[in-house]
Amino acid sequence: VQLQACGGGLVQAGGSLRLSCVASGSIFSINDMGWYRQPPGKERELVAVVPSGGSTSYADSVKGRFTISRDNAKNTVYLQMNSLKPEDTAVYYCNAQIKKSATYYAHNYWGQGTQVTVSS
């Protein structure tokens, strides 16, 4: 199982970016999918999570600006980021809890990270 993220880049404050992350490989089902980020010199933190069923959740710092969504048919999770601020600068990682078969427990998988840089 692999997670491949893309969509990062350099953007001016107030701009937008859309991140995508595709899960591939031996996948039976996917529970939660989410995005985390790690700002320079800081710990990795949760940005947003979308469960297989139920409500999404967001870090307070991104509420009202970021939107997480998923396409189950494509095993893909998205993060639409609007009104970006310099403090959003970080490496963004996608995460998914994936079952490889009906009898397997779900395991946690991470994407490779994509850099988002917001200039002031």
Condensed to tens digits (0 to 9), the pLDDT of residues 4-51 reads 999 999 999 999 999 999 999 999 999 999 999 999 999 999 999 999
Q: Which pLDDT band holds residue 80 (cuts at 50, 70, 90)? A: very high
Contact 1, 30 (CB under 8 A): no
Contact 46, 39 (CB under 8 A): no
Quote the CA–CA distance of 77 and 70 in Å, as a whole number: 4
The letter for the amino acid at 114 is T
pLDDT in tens, 86-98: 999 999 999 999 9
Q: Please report, for residues 11, 12, 13, 96, the alpha-carbon distance to residue 21 in angstroms, rounded to integers and kept in the order given.
A: 19, 23, 23, 10
